[in-house]
């Protein structure tokens, strides 16, 4: 596997826990987006970017500066996979919508997005993170569907490992 960096933004610890699981399964470095350096991004060929979703589909707070940092760097040719945490019951109309914020900010930066996930098996009303019938990355509800988290992570990683 090429140099892979798992980057997360987390306010309550849920997204950090998910990032740590993903990093451990891949043997990859895990870093809080608030502490992300240009050098870490430059050295990585693969970026797995995770955020929780707040309010009406907003990014986790640290991601606003983190996205500005990423947009200023040369990401051309990097492989990017997204993962997001949300609440499909209380925020069913914006479920994991913050993934779309990252996707939209980076889609014209020459990156190769991988890891889109079918909406089958999810219960939600709407999400900005659904493009062409699939989530732009791995959507997780570790509040209401924590019994599905590990299985979804494993299936997602299996689907992207060959390109990392």
Query: How many CA atoms, within 13 angstroms, populate the side-chain half-sphere of residue 12?
Result: 8
pLDDT, average across residues 24-44: 97
What is the rounded radius of gyration, in angstroms, for the C-alpha atoms of the chain? 14
- pLDDT, residue 2, reads 94
Rounded distance, CA 96 to CA 58, Å? 9
pLDDT, average across residues 16-24: 97
Q: Say yes or no: domain 4-163 is CATH 3.40.50.360.
A: yes
Phi, psi of 58 (to 5 degrees): -85, 155
> Which positions ≥6 away from 88 have C-beta within 8 Å?
95, 122, 123, 124, 141, 144, 145
- pLDDT, residue 96, reads 97
Q: Given pLDDT bands bounded at 50, 70 and 90, which one contains residue 1?
A: confident
Q: Given pLDDT bands bounded at 50, 70 and 90, which one contains residue 10?
A: very high
């Amino acid at each position: 596997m090429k140099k892979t960096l798992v980057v997360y933004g987390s306010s309550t610890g849920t997204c950090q826990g998910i990032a740590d699981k993903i990093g451990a399964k891949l043997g990859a470095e895990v870093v809080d987006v608030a502490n992300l350096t240009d050098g870490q991004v430059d050295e990585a060929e693969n970026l797995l970017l995770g955020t929780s979703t707040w309010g009406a589909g907003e990014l986790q707070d640290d991601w606003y500066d983190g996205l500005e940092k990423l947009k200023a760097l040369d990401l051309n040719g990097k492989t990017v996979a997204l993962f997001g945490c949300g609440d499909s019951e209380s925020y069913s109309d914006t479920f994991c919508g913050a993934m779309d914020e990252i996707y939209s900010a980076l889609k014209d930066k020459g990156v190769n997005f991988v890891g889109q996930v079918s909406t089958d098996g999810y219960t939600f009303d709407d999400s900005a993170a659904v493009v062409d019938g699939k989530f732009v990355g791995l959507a997780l509800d570790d509040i209401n569907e924590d019994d599905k988290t590990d299985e979804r992570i494993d299936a997602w990683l299996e689907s992207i490992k060959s390109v990392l």
